[in-house]
Structure 1
Amino acid sequence: MRGMVIGVSTATLRIAGARSLKDKRRVLKSVLTRLHNRFNVAAAEVGRHDSHQEAEVGIACVSTAGSHADQVLAAVMGFLEAEGEIELVDYHTELL
């Protein structure tokens, strides 16, 4: 049986254009859906729920190789850095 690796990243995002929680949720929903569709990862808001302009997002992927999981999560962070409606403030990645 082959091993399983779970890659997990937590990202802190700033959504400068959000003037309300509704604006924030609209932007986040769009970004999270694109992450899932493009990278086949699970992603959800996991913190800073009451802040209009900040969000903490958890991203996870499952792979048979740690290097692959790390590459996928690095690509996700690159996508978030290039995203126009948000700013990637900080992130942390670990492999389980």
Structure 2
Amino acid sequence: MATTLGLLHLEFRIAGASSLKDKRRSVKSFKDRLAARRNVSVAEVEAQDDHRRAVVAVAMVGSDRRYVEGALQQIVNEAVAYRDMVLVEHELEWL
């Protein structure tokens, strides 16, 4: 049985955040929204002390690479449309 692990890194710019509290509110909202809608693991992995930037990692495991890739692409689309943060860059890795 083949197991596929997709790891998606999303880098955001948070223009409206004037403090770490503002940033954490935006990041938590995004993470909670993803976790509620999809079967993924989500964590903020870089720039925790920078209130203007956030890097979020999203991991998904499945047996069909095309399914995992499609689901992670939908997450990228959601990140682009998310109103509180601007997606600057994203990268998909296969493990």
- Regarding TM over 0.5, the answer is yes
Paired position in structure 1 for 2:66: 67
Q: What per-residue deviation string (whole Å, max 9, x for no partner) do you get for residues 23-80 of structure 1?
A: 0001110100001111221111000111111001100001101111111110000000
Paired position in structure 1 for 2:20: 21
Contact 1:10/1:57 (CA < 8 Å) preserved in 2?
Answer: yes
SS at match of 1:34: helix
Q: After TM superposition, what 4+ stretches of structure 1 lie above 3 angstroms from structure 2?
A: none
Mapped pair 1:41 → 2:40? yes
Output the CA distance in 1 between the equivalents of 2:12 and 2:74: 16
SS at match of 2:87: strand
Q: CA RMSD in A?
A: 0.7
Output the CA distance in 2 between the equivalents of 1:67 and 1:94: 14
Output the CA distance in 1 between the equivalents of 2:41 and 2:5: 11
Contact 1:4/1:62 (CA < 8 Å) preserved in 2?
Answer: yes
Structure 1 segments unaligned to the other structure (5+ residues): none
TM-score by length of 2: 0.96
Q: Percent identity?
A: 37
